[in-house]
Amino acid sequence: MDFVEPVQAVIPGAQGRILGVLVETAAELNVRTIARLSGVSLAQASRVLPKLVELGLVERREAPPSALFRLVAENIAARFVRGLAGARQAVLEELGQMAQELSPTPVSVIVFGSFARGEADSQSDLDVVVVRPVDVDQDDEAWTTAVERWRLGARRLTGNAVEVIEVGETEIGRLLRRKATIWRDVAREGVVAFGSDLTALKGRRSA
C-alpha cells in the first residue's frame, strides 16, 4: 500500500488526485486551485469535478465569477475516501489490536523507518521492533508462532513486506541508548503501536 498518497494509489488518474486534495480540507476550493494542488490540468479538473458532483461525492456552490467545490463528508463514497486518507493511522491502531491478542503478549510493538515518518509507499517495508517479555524464552514455541502470526497478519493488512526485529525486555533499554544507527532511528522516530512507550523502554536496565 502507498501510505503517502493512499487515495491516489487506489483511485488512479485525475479523479484520485482531485479526491486526494479535497479529502484533506473542509474548505471550498475553486477549479483552478484544485487543479494546481492536485497536479492535473485545468481541463482535466473541469471534466472530473462535474462527474464527482453528479455522484454526490462533491458539492458545488456558485460564487461568481467562479464555482466552489468541497467533499460531501456525509456521502458514503466520500467516507470511503476519508478512510483511505487515514489508512496510516488505521494501520497503527490495528497493528496494536493484533498485538494485544497475541499469547504470550509482547511488552511493546514499535514501528520505525519510513512508515513511522509518514513516507512509506508501496515499495517500502514495514519495519517493526517486537519486545519479548522477560519471562518468555527466545526459543519459546508459542512466542515464535505468535510473532510469525502477527507478522503475516501485518503483511496482509498493509500489503507491504514486514521486517520484524525481536528483542528481549532486558535488552531493549540498552539498545535504545546505543548510538548505532538503527537503534538511534528507533529511539528518535519510533511509533509505539502497542505496549510500553519509548520513555519507559529506554529506562529499562539489564537484569
* CATH code 3.30.460.10 region(s) in the chain: 87-202
Q: In which band, very low, low, confident or very high, does the pLDDT at 183 lie, cut at 50, 70 and 90?
A: very high
Instruction: Give me the pLDDT at residue 207, please.
Output: 55
For residue 152, what are the CA distances in angstroms to 56, 164, 185? 38, 11, 24
pLDDT tens-place string over residues 98-111 = 999 999 999 999 99
Instruction: Give me the pLDDT at residue 31, please.
Output: 97
**Domain 6-84 falls in which CATH fold?**
Arc Repressor Mutant, subunit A (1.10.10)
3-state secondary structure at position 8: helix
Instruction: Give yes or no for a cis peptide into 104 (omega within 30° of 0).
Output: yes
Percent of the chain with pLDDT over 90: 93
Residue with cell 464555482: 67
Instruction: Give me the pLDDT at residue 114, please.
Output: 96
State the Cα–Cα distance between residues 197 and 131, nearest whole angstrom. Answer: 11
* CATH code 1.10.10.10 region(s) in the chain: 6-84
State the Cα–Cα distance between residues 84 and 65, nearest whole angstrom. Answer: 33
Average pLDDT over residues 191-199: 95
Strand partners, 177: none
Q: In which band, very low, low, confident or very high, does the pLDDT at 122 lie, cut at 50, 70 and 90?
A: very high
- pTM equals 0.85
* Domain 87-202 of CATH type 3.30.460.10: yes
Whether 23 contacts 7, CB under 8 Å: yes
| Alpha carbon of residue 52 to chain centroid | 26
Residue 206: pLDDT over 80: no
